[in-house]
Amino acid sequence: MSNLKQFIGAEQPRGPRGEWTGEEAVFTRFLQGLDSGGPGEREGFEAVWLALRRVLVGELKRRSLWTLSPAYVGIYGSASWADEEAVEELVADGFAFIFVERLRSLKAHLRLKPNVEGLIVRSARNFLQEAQKRHDPVGFRVFTVLRGAVRSAVAAGALHVVEGSSAVRRDTVLAFHAGAAARPGELAAEARSWNVDLLPDLITARGWEVRPLMARVEKLLLRLPAQGFPVFRFQDLVDPLRLDVRMRWRALWTSAQGEELPQPGEDDRLVMARIAVPARSLEERESFRSLLNCLEEGIENLAQRAQSKEYLRRLQMFLRCYAADAMPAPAGEELPSRRRLADLLGIPRDRLPDLFTTLQKLAEVCRQGAGKALP
Amino acid sequence: MKRRDPQERSRRELDEALTRYGSERDREAARGPEPWPGDLFVLAETAEFPVEWLLVERGRQGRCLIVAADANPILGCADVAVPPEASGGPLSVRCDVGLQIGIESLRRGERTGSLAANDLDRVRRLRAEVAAGGVPDPKLGAGGEPDPSYEDWLAEIVLPARAALLPVAKEEPGLAFRRARKGIAAAAGLVLFLAVCGVSILAWRFHQGERQARQEVSRLLEESRRREAAYRRELESERQRLEAAYQKELAARRIPTPGSEAGRPLANLVYASFYPGASRGTVRELAAPPGTTYLFLLFYVGHRPLSVEYRVDVEKGAGGAIWSLGGLHLLPSQEVSVALPRAQVPDGAYRMRLYGVSGKERQDLGQFEVRIVSQLSHLPDR
């Protein structure tokens, strides 16, 4: 099996930073060679695999996901991307998303285009975006809210793009005065302090609640010049903020241990912790991911009041974060107390037992493979 | 437990996808090239964008409503997600990003698949909802939340794709021009046909035969139309004849209007009263002396439940009613009365039926057998 060095090797075309350039049209030639009903072995499969791997790894790095747990994009059971199997699993997932599920669409465009390399790269980005949105809801939410607030400030003329994409990407440099020099300051400490004001709304706001939340973020943004940050790079703001949110959640779990022992009747939290921790065996990884997906779908299909479903969504999101961040710790011992969980998720404490029970039942149904036939 | 190698798994999944794709292509090919609602197209004008076009409605004169669709799973609140297992899926249909385009533009494009009817319905319903104002801002992300990634996708891909297609939609030739073009095309076709006839006698003969066949068909059609018209005229004439006969019959049964006699007293009446039950089963003889003008008949109703009005039918033999006298009202003596002109009631046996009528209900109040005979002399026998 190829390792990391092989796929970044010199035998494949690459740009100055090792990114995929598409010069040899590997993807296009591969697709052109595919015939329905043809032999299973196809020319260029290996080359496509390596090229796709390079695209995905490049994109992980661009999104600052490379140093985080693979669970943030749905690859469970590996602590880091140094685990070769995790990368291979990601490529397999990406291959399914791009070539297997969207084969008809790719072939359609190939009828009018000589080259679909750009389309494949864009599809790989869509794949990772979707995976992160689903498996790292906290990080994705922070990024989305912050980006929305920054774009709103730019549209209002309060902020100016001095470098990079005007659509505000990670490497966009922004300034409060159009002529400011592009020397971004170090604002991690300031960004982290925002969470005192923004949590838990930053994570739990939905629908119409999001715009007021963005307005609050925008107010915090406008205080930056007075605090000595007239210029900043977007990723320097979003990364510490996102990291801090994750750390706060993680701190809650670890500090909860021994702080408040489970009370009689609270054992269901321990059961949920067991649900949320994926097993390490290869087969169980797959079924764990299916379980999370089934839980998500099951909540949407439940015949419950909208508010209850919203609480269940938050709990489900919490479990995903727990699964991603608390992987190495023993199962069932790190969940925060109900009081802290209720504060964290903005859920009335007395509702938690019923919600846990519902989730537990859903998990049982999902494990029996009947996720779509939920009550 | 060792899981299957990811590469091996991907190869297997790809094989399955290719089989599915092949089946879909065969189905599409068997269906013929004409665009119909639910079909997906890629168009040369938007080839640089990863966008397909869904034909939503095909209107008159070749105008088609199409909306953008793409394979990015990100969704807005005005989008419909077609799942991977559905025909044409996975696809995100951008219901609010549509435009009108001529059918020719779609025929020039490549049909790449089609959606199932229920998915097309979902698109139509959501479009109707958007049009009715049910979606406050179609540019918002799922759940009505602002989503910069979604806004980017619209701004960088979907809307520019529509913009690239707009000139095509605007340059669509007008109706008059299309008609003229059709006419020119038809004329050119005719000229070509004639030229072919001139070159090939066989083709000419074939053409002649076809023309004769068409003439024969036209002749038969004309004859059929002529026969139908004649038949209709005959039917109308018969209807008028029957109507006239009916009116005549009706007039014959109508009580003669008093006319000039209305202002004059009636004289020489033969009077008779009928009571229910009294004459049942027997025949009452009514002698009419010479010079009798009317037979004045009274039918006693008594204390039976009152009706709104009354009717007397006079029957002769088995021929049914020769008189039907309706609209009769009760006299203070609890009787109804009729006067029959003697001239129209010749000697013979009659049956008289009395009915009470209330709305559509008719109640049989009695029937009376009468024989009218002429009395030779009103003088008493000596």
**Cα–Cα distance for residue pair B304/B302, rounded to 1 Å:** 6
Q: Where in chain B is the domain with CATH 2.30.30.110?
A: 33-172
Overall CATH class of domain B266-374: mainly beta
CB contact under 8 A, B10 and A35: no
Q: What pLDDT score was predicted for residue A146?
A: 94
CB contact under 8 A, A167 and B19: no
Q: What pLDDT score was predicted for residue A285?
A: 60
- Whether A87 is covered by a domain: the verdict is yes
Residue A31 above 60 pLDDT? yes
User: Which residues on chain A are in Cβ contact (under 8 Å) with B13?
Assistant: 95-96, 100
User: With an 8 Å Cβ cutoff, is A210 touching chain B?
Assistant: yes
Q: What pLDDT score was predicted for residue A121?
A: 93
Residue A207 has its nearest CB partner, among B1, B16, B145, at B145
- Whether A375 is covered by a domain: the verdict is no
**Cα–Cα distance for residue pair A256/A151, rounded to 1 Å:** 38
Q: What pLDDT score was predicted for residue A158?
A: 92
State the DSSP string of B4-72.
PPHHHHHHHHHHHHHHHHHHHHHHHHHH-S---TTEEEE-GGGTTSS-EEEEEEE-GGGEEEEEEEES-
Please tell me the pTM assigned to this model: 0.61
Indicate the pLDDT class of residue A327, thresholds 50, 70 and 90.
Answer: very low
Q: What pLDDT score was predicted for residue A126?
A: 95
Contact (CB, 8 A) for B323 and B314: yes
CB contact under 8 A, B47 and A45: no
Q: Where in chain B is the domain with CATH 2.60.40.10?
A: 266-374
* Pair (A125, A160) in one structural domain: no
Residue A282 above 50 pLDDT? no
- The H or E element spanning position A254 is helix A234-256
- Whether A231 is covered by a domain: the verdict is yes
Task: Give me the number of domains chain A comprises.
Answer: 3
The residue from A255, A289, A313 where one domain ends is A255
CB contact under 8 A, B145 and A210: yes
Q: Give the model confidence (pLDDT) of A315-326 as tens digits.
A: 777 777 666 654
* Pair (A240, A357) in one structural domain: no
* Pair (A8, A124) in one structural domain: yes
* Pair (A287, A363) in one structural domain: yes
Contact (CB, 8 A) for A334 and A254: yes
Residue A260 above 80 pLDDT? no
Strand B110-114 versus strand B269-274 pairing type = unpaired
**Cα–Cα distance for residue pair A214/A144, rounded to 1 Å:** 10
User: Which residues on chain B are in Cβ contact (under 8 Å) with A77?
Assistant: none
User: Which of these ranges, A25-34, A183-192, A195-204, has the smallest mean pLDDT?
Assistant: A183-192
- Neighbouring CB atoms inside 10 A of B158's CB total 25
Q: Using H for helix, E for strand and C for coil, what is the string for B75-124? A: CECCEEEECCCCCCCCEEEEEEEEEEEEHHHHHHCEEEEECCHHHHHHHH
Tokens of B149: 């990634």
- Whether A236 is covered by a domain: the verdict is yes
User: Which residues on chain B are in Cβ contact (under 8 Å) with A36?
Assistant: 18-19, 21-23, 25
Q: What pLDDT score was predicted for residue B118?
A: 93
Q: What pLDDT score was predicted for residue A189?
A: 85
A230 burial (CB, 10 Å; 0-12 / 13-18 / 19+) is middle
Distances (CA, A) of B95 to A233, B75, B125, B138: 36, 11, 10, 9
Q: What pLDDT score was predicted for residue B171?
A: 56
Q: What pLDDT score was predicted for residue B298?
A: 92
Residue B152 has its nearest CB partner, among A38, A104, A167, at A167
Task: Scan for tokens 């109707």, then name that residue.
Answer: B128
Q: What pLDDT score was predicted for residue B91?
A: 95
User: Which residues on chain A are in Cβ contact (under 8 Å) with B19?
Assistant: 36-37
**Cα–Cα distance for residue pair A81/A68, rounded to 1 Å:** 8
Q: Residue B341 pairs with which residues in a beta bridge?
A: B294
- The H or E element spanning position B270 is strand B269-274
The residue from A134, A154, A183 where one domain ends is A134
Q: What pLDDT score was predicted for residue A1?
A: 35
CB contact under 8 A, B24 and A104: yes
Please give the average per-residue pLDDT across A305-322, as a whole number: 77
Indicate the pLDDT class of residue A186, thresholds 50, 70 and 90.
Answer: confident
CB contact under 8 A, A108 and B19: no
Per-residue exposure over B289-306, b if at least 16 CB sit within 10 Å of its own CB, e if not: eeebbbbbbebbbeeeee
**Cα–Cα distance for residue pair B306/B300, rounded to 1 Å:** 12
Ramachandran sector of residue A258 (left: φ over 0; alpha: ψ -120 to 50; beta: rest): left
Distance of alpha carbon A54 from the chain centroid: 19
Residue A18 above 60 pLDDT? no
| Torsion of Cα atoms, A326 then A327 then A329 then A333, to 10° | 60
Q: What pLDDT score was predicted for residue B196?
A: 65
B33-172 maps to CATH 2.30.30.110: yes
* Pair (A212, A286) in one structural domain: no
User: What's chain A's average pLDDT?
Assistant: 76
Residues of chain B with pLDDT under 50: 1-2, 173-177, 257-260, 380-382
Residue A291 above 70 pLDDT? yes
**Count of CB pairs separated by less than 8 Å, A with B:** 128
| Torsion of Cα atoms, A138 then A140 then A146 then A151, to 10° | -160
User: Which residues on chain A are in Cβ contact (under 8 Å) with B84?
Assistant: 101
Q: What pLDDT score was predicted for residue A42?
A: 57
Q: What pLDDT score was predicted for residue B281?
A: 61
User: Which residues on chain B are in Cβ contact (under 8 Å) with A147?
Assistant: 148
Which has the higher per-residue pLDDT, A203 or A241?
A241
Residue A187 above 90 pLDDT? no
Q: What pLDDT score was predicted for residue A40?
A: 43
User: Which residues on chain A are in Cβ contact (under 8 Å) with B42?
Assistant: 108-109, 111-112
CB contact under 8 A, B143 and A130: no
Select from A1, A36, A217 the residue whose CB has the most chain B CBs within 10 Å, as the one to mutate to test that interface: A36
Range of the domain at A211: 139-255
Strand B269-274 versus strand B294-300 pairing type = parallel
Q: Give the model confidence (pLDDT) of B202-254 as tens digits.
A: 766 766 777 787 887 888 888 888 888 888 888 888 888 888 888 777 766 55
User: Which residues on chain B are in Cβ contact (under 8 Å) with A111?
Assistant: 42, 110, 112
Tokens of A41: 């072995």
Q: Which residues, other chains included, contact A6 with Cβ-Cβ below 8 Å and sequence gap of 6+?
A: A50
Q: Give the model confidence (pLDDT) of A328-351 as tens digits.
A: 444 444 556 677 777 777 788 888
* Pair (A276, A290) in one structural domain: yes
* Pair (A232, A264) in one structural domain: no
Residue A34 has its nearest CB partner, among B18, B52, B143, at B18
For B26, nearest residue in chain A (alpha carbons): A36
ipTM of this model? 0.73
The residue from A255, A278, A299 where one domain ends is A255
Phi, psi of B81, rounded to the nearest 5 degrees: -95, 125
Which has the higher per-residue pLDDT, A39 or A200?
A200
CB contact under 8 A, B7 and A147: no
User: With an 8 Å Cβ cutoff, is A219 touching chain B?
Assistant: no
* Pair (A76, A148) in one structural domain: no
Q: What pLDDT score was predicted for residue B339?
A: 92
- Whether A248 is covered by a domain: the verdict is yes
**Cα–Cα distance for residue pair B381/B375, rounded to 1 Å:** 12
